[in-house]
Structure 1
Amino acid sequence: MANRGKDQPPKTIGELLDRFGEAAEKGDEVSLDDLMDAIGRRSFGPLILMAGIVMSAPGISDIPSVGTITGLFVGLVAGQMLFGRDRFWLPGWLLQRKVSSKTIRKVAESKWTRRPAKFIDKLVTRRLEAFAGGKANIVVAAACLILALAGPLTEFVPLSGIGVGAALVAFGISLVARDGLMTLVGFGLTAVTLTIALVALT
């Protein structure tokens, strides 16, 4: 399964969730490195999508340190996108971070992730390409970097992690499917989420 992930990154949210489930079947714990093997290491879109799914899954973003670690992950990936790298690097200590397979299965199998995934996958198509691909991806990377910086704040503002996660899912889809509409949705969710978080903290 690892080779399939490396050669062919997932094209839909449903396929990415399937690969989460496959990774969870290999042991009691799943490392970030294991998830990388499952979804591939050559494309930035699935990585942003993966982070978004983790953050937006109900109950997951509320786990202590998840917001901070996910923010660090997204920041490293988005930063390398901004610098035009075609492959990314992550520190070994981050790749070895582990979570229980039960938690990953919950993300992969929950109706709260599967139902929205099925609905969104039906809507996604290649459109509004002025807002997807090429220079537009640089703007998307910058927005993801801002969301990454907000990651630690989600541990102090209830439910804000779901908003950050939803925005990352939208950006991840835009990168994978070249769907400019999802880029615009991502910008809207980013603005709303950050505004709510700042109001809550003041």
Structure 2
Amino acid sequence: MNQPLQSLEQLLDRVSQSTRDNDQVSVGMVIESVGSRSFGPMLMLIGITLFSPLSGLPGMSIFMGSFVLLIAVQILIGRKQFWLPHFILNRSIGRRKLQKALHWLNKPARSIDRVLKPRLTFLVRNGGSYGIASLCIVVGLCMPFMELVPFSSSAAGLALLALGLALVVHDGLLVLLALGAFSATLILIVANIL
């Protein structure tokens, strides 16, 4: 359980193993099972949400931007695990539903793990995580402006998904791809506003 995670498949296995003895699994239990790698999955979740059609809902960019800022600030202050209010941490789901979702995610995780691997790790480990947090702060602060430009929050979601994956599998190449995607989004926003 103390070994560092190296892949998405290991992440899913750890969540599955640590929650198998409970009938109800809370958000807090899942975050605790992931430990210091909980920032990556949270960024991935926000990225997937923004990349989905939900990003078109009014106010979604601002709402998700505030979560991105919450994550980034916690990385910058050196927290080892993502903090959420107790009313969110206490929310729970049935173990069977969670196991079914984890089983469904195993195949895509295996496919992603074949492509991603630890490389350019200086971009994700130690000081590199502060660079990722700084980029997340810029993304979070730009989110309100993304309400004005259609589909720009989807591109930012893709960048956040890449950053989350980079933190989980230590693939610095994803950080560079996220930086490119967000730079293109920023240019698009500036061009449409001016």
For the criterion TM > 0.5, the same-fold answer is yes
- Which residue of the other structure, out of 30, 51, 54, is the alignment partner of 2:46? 51
| Contact persistence 2:5–2:169 (CA under 8 A) | no
The Cα shift of 1:143 comes to: 0.1
The Cα shift of 1:92 comes to: 5.8
The Cα shift of 1:193 comes to: 0.9
Asked whether 1:140 is paired with 2:135, we answer no
| Residue 81 (structure 1) aligns with | 75
| Residue 162 (structure 2) aligns with | 170
| Contact persistence 1:48–1:171 (CA under 8 A) | yes
- Take 2:70 and 2:178, find their aligned partners in 1: how far apart are those partners? 19
Range with greater deviation from structure 2 (36-45 or 47-56): 36-45
* Secondary structure of residue in 2 paired with 1:151: helix
When residues 10 and 177 of structure 1 are mapped into structure 2, their CA distance, relative to the original with a 3 A threshold, is: closer
2:177 maps to amino acid: V
Asked whether 1:197 is paired with 2:189, we answer yes
1:155 maps to amino acid: E
2:136 maps to amino acid: C
The Cα shift of 1:55 comes to: 0.8
The percent identity for this pair of structures is 32
| Residue 179 (structure 2) aligns with | 187
The Cα shift of 1:53 comes to: 1.0
- Which residues in structure 2 correspond to 1:95-134 (within 5 Å)? 95=88, 120-134=112-126
- Which residue of the other structure, out of 71, 81, 90, is the alignment partner of 2:84? 90
The Cα RMSD (Å) is 3.7
The Cα shift of 1:35 comes to: 5.6
| Residue 159 (structure 1) aligns with | 151
With the length of structure 1 as denominator, give the TM-score of the two structures. 0.68
Aligned length: 171
- Take 1:84 and 1:196, find their aligned partners in 2: how far apart are those partners? 33
When residues 76 and 46 of structure 1 are mapped into structure 2, their CA distance, relative to the original with a 3 A threshold, is: same
When residues 121 and 37 of structure 1 are mapped into structure 2, their CA distance, relative to the original with a 3 A threshold, is: same
Encode CA deviations 1:125-177: one digit per residue, 9 max, x unaligned: 11112222111110011001111112222222100011100110111111111
With the length of structure 2 as denominator, give the TM-score of the two structures. 0.70
When residues 9 and 180 of structure 1 are mapped into structure 2, their CA distance, relative to the original with a 3 A threshold, is: closer
| Contact persistence 2:8–2:113 (CA under 8 A) | yes
| Contact persistence 1:9–1:46 (CA under 8 A) | no
Asked whether 1:12 is paired with 2:8, we answer yes
The Cα shift of 1:89 comes to: 2.6
* Secondary structure of residue in 1 paired with 2:56: coil
The Cα shift of 1:65 comes to: 2.0
2:40 maps to amino acid: G
Which has more radius of gyration?
2
- Take 1:10 and 1:66, find their aligned partners in 2: how far apart are those partners? 32
